[in-house]
Amino acid sequence: MDQTCKHLAWLEFVHARVERHIICNQRLQTLANHLPDKDSKYPSIALLLGHDTKNKVLRDLLPKGSLKKQQANATSLNLRPDTQSSKSPYPIYYADLDPTEHTCSLELGNKTGCHVQQHFQVSWVPESQQNLLDVVISRLLFLFTDVICLFADDLGGLETTRIFLTNWTLLAIGSHIGPPLRPRVLVVQRDSGNPMQTLERDLFLSDLTRDVDINRVFASVKVVTLPQKYQTSQRRRLSFILELANSLDSARGDRMAASMLFAATHQAALFRRALVNVTRTAATPFNFIQAARQGNEVRSDLVEHTENVLRVSQKLPTGVVVLMIASSAILDAYPKGMHGFDPKLLFRTLYKSLYRSALCRVSTSTPDDVSNEIQERFCALRAEMVNNGTSSADIHLSTLRSLQPSWSLLKSNQTCLVCLVQSPEHVLSCGHALCENCIKRFGCEVSLRSGLHSSYEIRECPVCGKRERFLVRLKPPTAGFRILSIDGGGLRGIVPLETLSLLQQLAQSDCPIQELFDLAYGTSIGGIIVLGLFVKKMTVEQLLYFFRSFAHTLFGARRSKDDSSLLPRALKSLLTSNSMYDTGLFEQTLISQFGPNRQLFDYEGPTASGTKVAVTAVKVSETSTPTRIFTNYNGSRRRQSESGYRFERPFRADQEPYVWQVARATSAAPIYFRAIKIPSLGIYRDGGVSHHNNPINIALWESRYIWPSVIRPDVVLSLGTGYEETSQSPLVKTPKISFPWSFSFSVKDTPLHCLISSFKGELDGQRTWREFMNHRPEHEKPDYFRLTLELPGPEPAIDDYDSIEVLSSAVRLQPSGPETRRGVLMALLISSLFFELQEMPSYGDGMYYCHGSVRCRSSGALKSLLKLHPLGNLELFKDGNSLGVFLSEQDICGTCRRYRKPVHFFVKDLDDEINLCVKWDIDQTRKISAMPRRVSWFVDRQGLDMPFGSATDPGVIYEECGGCAPSEQKLPTWTPGPLRTKRKRSYEVMDVEPHKKRSKR
């Protein structure tokens, strides 16, 4: 907000045509921001209702002359701070409104520009302006007001005041869910000198209590008399001020006893959410606890996770399980920043029914008793948390340590055994798996000298206490994601391997190609490639060597100089062992490469890449939904039951398939190799035989379950294994079907022709890609790349060993190959850049000032990008306008080796979309990660407007770097000036440090 703003209006009422609106000017938030140490200030609000007498009393309550300096609105609800109490733990605000004033504005729009305005349309139909005022007063203001002062002479006398109170009482009943919030009422009346005034006062109180149950809404109703000549009677004035102060103290005590005394930031946030509620419906009660969890709701799959925990812990004592569930609920219920709601009420509101459902599912004989026991433990842990002044994370870690002898015996691949509310994503060396939130919560960010962003280190397993150093790279919250998808195709897998090798040569050694992808999918040989690259962590060259050795062992050694003997041998193998090739040798080759006991969802070693990996397979026994995916991840959301494929995960962690088994399953091509039986799961064949030889569709579908907040990927790279470009010319030759033993025959116009053509269509990854791209909007298509090889003749058979070198050379000699690969690598490297806000955008002069940084996931990616453009002409643009700076290695911090370029700019609204791009070569542009996005998306992803904290952003311990910490940057101090009507302004500002001359290479 502009520091020069003198407006006092808190709420304004607008009647535009047939619609009614309420404008909120964020006065509560503004006053909270001006308080020193606002998170430990607990304001009280006194609501003064009237006009002339009210204004006279306000002059006494506020510093002398302050009413003249500030701009109040007679038709609005105004809010003023008591500046004398601002340094007190309990500052006082005075709100004032004339409930008899029915005049309202007829126009919408922010006419000031010096403070934030939010417009809320009233969805229900008020009977009149008075009815709208009555609802706002009784169902909104009463929830946050401690004392209500009604100036009877301003309102028309005691009888009119009684009518107001009666109507408000009837409307306020049931206005919220939770402990009673009953403000105190002071009815202020001038002393008329008439002896009958006392009798009138008694009749007023008697009639008031007779008409309605006034005690359900108000803690007390008291009539206070002012002298007739109010301004000349200092003693009586002080008497009223003292009465008001005492009433505020009593109301504060009531709120404190009910655990409903809110800090300034919480009060402002809850008021905004209550205003939204009252404009949507005049009848729905406001739930403070649910409102505080807005944007941080209890997970919808809590019942399923609790059920998993109950099943894996059936052999443990009930008391251990109850304590662990209660402790996990504390961790979820009271993140850093959460208001201290009454634990019993909070537990009943958020958790009790969910836990009871889970208990009923596992046939617990006494679900009510157990859920009550969990509630008791929950309340006890909350009391311990308050008494010791510790965080919920500390309480939960203490619980975990106390239960280690028994809890450490458990392992789960479906539920994180630390928080019990999310699926695990990373397995430690001890075998316990943690979700990514717990990685952040109980780990620390590693930055020093690493050059990596969003890397976290676990130094001790929270479940068993085992000491270790486990490093995980996570996707930054404001970054998008990149997908790699590799087709199946047997020995034609040399095509994507050579393509990756050429991309790696372009990127050079600074940036391993694996660092440029967040999700990698493969089918058949494509599955083996992604397992080798991202699970085994082989380099591309190592994988190429393995591929050639693998091909020679399985296929090359079978060939003899006399090919005429191949057909009988192949037929014999097919008839005697149900496969043309030695399945046992195939398995031994895979075991020697991936290890006999390494599971796919398993410990990756001291460093985990963070890349999500999956391969496709077909379950032989299934007919309706045969396609399966094996993954090294779980995802953050439940998958739809009719998604067209199934996520394969055994219930027990020790039944997870081995990597070699998964590699066998995805490449068990019919005829060539036998299907594989994986214990506890089933029998599987090659994933390419069920429409997904090119797994790009499943990869995109799965991304929505992994990163639901990111709608579309930054870059998709699909690698094919070569295809035959068919012609529509009538001169085309009759198709020949080439078998692996080099025997061929014409099948034109035969049923076999139709069958084989149909089967080949199912395996046609190029056709899948074309159909996939037909469903992409035009503006998204530049983000999707397909690298494959157009073959001059029929596709080689998937076991054609002799074709390997020919295909390898063809990939390297493609005329358009170098330029195409360069474009793909540019897109991938630029998608490593992402933007994040440094702080909550501030408002003034009609604009939001946004201060943030362009960062890079790894300094290696930036170095590779700059080597592709040695002239240093990579310039940053925002919404088509130059920011005046260029990407440079000089912005890599010398201490932590991470890249950070400060940025600041202006937007008119937080919902405005921004698009940060890199431009080069005059007309070449490429957006950085996650762009374009609304500014509000960054606010949400970074939790900058989460006054109650979030379980998904649990307060990471950062190892701050003094070299590039925000506090060390010499940023300009921005203070919004008064609003000007004629002014030219640049909304894009960059290069906040002294300009660094770019080096010419």
CA atoms of 467 and 460, how far apart (whole Å): 4
Provide the greatest CA pair distance for the chain. 129
CB atoms inside a 10 Å sphere around CB 564: 10
CA atoms of 709 and 711, how far apart (whole Å): 6
Cα four-point dihedral sign 502, 786, 520, 836: positive
Measured N-to-C along each axis, helices 817-830 and 859-868 cross at an angle, to the nearest 10 degrees, of: 140
Question: Is there a contact between 869 and 926 (Cβ–Cβ < 8 Å)?
Answer: no
Measured N-to-C along each axis, helices 318-333 and 302-312 cross at an angle, to the nearest 10 degrees, of: 150
CA atoms of 732 and 722, how far apart (whole Å): 20
Beta strands in 659-746 (DSSP E): 676-678, 682-686, 715-719, 723-724, 736-738, 744-746
686 an active-site residue?
yes
CA atoms of 853 and 923, how far apart (whole Å): 24
Q: Where are the alpha helices (DSSP H) in 731-850?
A: 751-762, 765-774, 803-812, 817-830
Enumerate residues 6+ apart whose C-beta is below 8 A from 412: 308, 309, 312, 424, 433, 653
Question: Is there a contact between 513 and 532 (Cβ–Cβ < 8 Å)?
Answer: no
Question: Is there a contact between 697 and 643 (Cβ–Cβ < 8 Å)?
Answer: no
Strands 913-914 and 118-121: unpaired
**Set 76, 524, 832, 864: catalytic member:** 524
Question: Is there a contact between 308 and 358 (Cβ–Cβ < 8 Å)?
Answer: no
Q: Which of 794, 414, 837 is nearest to 638 (CA)?
A: 414
328 an active-site residue?
no
Tokens standing for residue 191: 């002393």
Question: Is there a contact between 465 and 408 (Cβ–Cβ < 8 Å)?
Answer: yes
CA atoms of 100 and 81, how far apart (whole Å): 24
CA atoms of 593 and 56, how far apart (whole Å): 87
CA atoms of 788 and 765, how far apart (whole Å): 10
CB atoms inside a 10 Å sphere around CB 453: 24
Taking the alpha carbons at both ends of the chain, their separation in whole angstroms is: 46
**Set 98, 686, 714, 845: catalytic member:** 686
CA atoms of 203 and 796, how far apart (whole Å): 102
- Dihedral of CA atoms 388, 269, 180, 151 in degrees, nearest 10, equals 130
Question: Is there a contact between 807 and 789 (Cβ–Cβ < 8 Å)?
Answer: yes
Task: Give the containing element (helix H, strand E) for 27.
Answer: helix 27-34
CA atoms of 512 and 510, how far apart (whole Å): 7
CA atoms of 811 and 666, how far apart (whole Å): 25
CA 462 from centroid of its chain's CA atoms: 24
Tokens standing for residue 407: 């809890």
CA atoms of 713 and 831, how far apart (whole Å): 10
Tokens standing for residue 404: 């280690």
Catalytic residue numbers read 524, 686
